[in-house]
Structure 1
C-alpha cells in the first residue's frame, strides 16, 4: 500500500543510458569498431571518458582519434549500431528500474526521461518497458545544451510544470550527475561504470532493486528537511 505523498516531490527525472538501461557496453563496442575501422586505437579508458557526454562532444573525440566522418554522421552511425544491439540483445534494463517506474506510475508521480541519446533510440527503449512509464521524453536532439550543463533537466522540469527543487533526478554518470546537481534537483546517483563519489549527489544508492515511490519521497523529504535547517 503506497503511503500519501509527502509535500514537495512533484516529479522524478530519469537518465537513460546506464541508469534505466545498461547500454554502455554497446556504446563502447560501437566506438571501438568505428575508430578501428579508420586505423585508430580506442581503449576502455577512452570509452569511459565519454560516459554521460553529449553525442556531439563524443563525436569530436572520435574525430580526434582518427574517425574521418562529420559529427552528425558519427552520431547517426553509433546510434544505429547501439539500437541494433538493443533489439538483438538481452533485456537491457537495470535491476529495479522497471519496478520503480511502475511504482511511480501507480503513485501518480510524473516522470521524464532525460537522455543525451537521440530521441529515436529513447523511443525504442521506452517501447520495451511494457507500460506507459514516462510523461515526457527528452532526447539529446531536443535540448539546447548537453549534460553536464543543467539545460536538459531544466527543460524537463519546465515541460512537466514543476520547479527543479521539487524533483528527484536519477543518474549513473559524472557528467549526468553534474547536470542534475546544477539544475537544482535532488540528485540520486546509482553508479554503474564509474564511481560517483565526490560529484555532489545528495545520495548514492548501489541499486534501484527493491526501491519504490516511497523511497524517493523519503529521499526528497530528507533533503528538503536539511535545506530547511540550513535556512533556519
Structure 2
C-alpha cells in the first residue's frame, strides 16, 4: 500500500467557481476595453472551456466561433495583450470578494495543513491568478500551505497533457503513487491520470457536471463543510458524506493496494 504524501489541487472550478463569474466576466470586460464587440455568454464559455489555458481559449474562439474577425499580423502579441488585460480584470473581481471558495475547500486545506500534509497547486491558470485567489480568499501568506505552485506557462503543454502534474511532482520529489489529485473536469482528470497519479477525486461544478469521469477514484458534488453535505456521484468507494483527510488517505490506500 502506498502512503499518501501530498495533495495536488487544481484551481479554477475546484477551489472556487472562478469560471462563470470570474474568468468569463473578466474576458468580456477586457474585450470591451479593447474596443471589441465580442461577448462570451455562459453557454459559449462552457464550450470554450474544452480548451485549457486563457490564451489558447482566445485562439480557439477565433478559429471556431469568430472566423470573420480579421486577425492582426501580430496575433500572438494581440492575444497576449488581451489576456494580460483579462488577468487584471480578474484580480479586480477577486479583490471585490466576488469569487468565494467552494464549500468545504477552506476546511480541507486547513485540516491538511494542520496534519502536515504536503500540498501543491497544479493548474493551467496564471501564477498571478492563483496568488490573487489565495490572497483574497485565505488571507495574507495564503500561499504558504502550498509547497509548490505549478501554474501557467511553466510547461508548454496544458491539460489534458500530463506535463504540469509531472513538473509539480518533480518539484516535490515525489512519485505518482505518493500523490492524490483533486480536480473538477475531464481535462484535469486525464492530465492527472496520464502523469501516473491514479487516485483522483473530482468535485464537479455547473460547467463540468455532465462530463465523463471514467477512471476517477471518486466523483462528488462538493467537498462539504459538514457531514452529510457531500454527495457521491460516481466511484466504487464506500458511501461518502464529507471529503476529509482521513477519507482521502483511505481512498488513496484502496487505489494503490
Please state which band the TM-score falls in when normalised by the shorter chain.
0.7 to 0.9
- The residue that corresponds to 2:54 in the other structure is 55
Show structure 1 runs of 5+ residues with no match: 1-5, 226-232
Cα distance in 2 for partners of 1:121, 1:172 equals: 17
- The residue that corresponds to 2:160 in the other structure is 148
Give 3-state SS (helix, strand or coil) of 2:8's partner: strand
- The residue that corresponds to 2:114 in the other structure is 106
- The residue that corresponds to 1:194 in the other structure is 208
Cα distance in 2 for partners of 1:50, 1:140 equals: 18
- The residue that corresponds to 2:93 in the other structure is 85
Task: Measure how far apart 1:102 and its partner are.
Answer: 0.9
Q: Normalized against structure 1, the TM-score is what?
A: 0.85
Cα distance in 1 for partners of 2:61, 2:87 equals: 14
Moved more, 176-185 or 148-157: 176-185
Task: Measure how far apart 1:60 and its partner are.
Answer: 0.5
- The residue that corresponds to 1:171 in the other structure is 183
The Cα RMSD (Å) is: 2.2
Cα distance in 2 for partners of 1:35, 1:106 equals: 43
Give 3-state SS (helix, strand or coil) of 2:153's partner: coil
Give 3-state SS (helix, strand or coil) of 1:176's partner: helix
Matched, 1:212 2:226: no
Cα distance in 1 for partners of 2:221, 2:171 equals: 29
Q: Normalized against structure 2, the TM-score is what?
A: 0.77
Which runs of structure 1 show a deviation greater than 6 angstroms over 4 or more consecutive aligned residues?
A: none
- The residue that corresponds to 2:10 in the other structure is 15
Task: Measure how far apart 1:41 and its partner are.
Answer: 5.0
- The residue that corresponds to 1:115 in the other structure is 123
Aligned residue pairs total: 220
Contact 2:29 2:89 (C-alpha < 8 Å) held by counterparts: no
Cα distance in 2 for partners of 1:40, 1:74 equals: 12
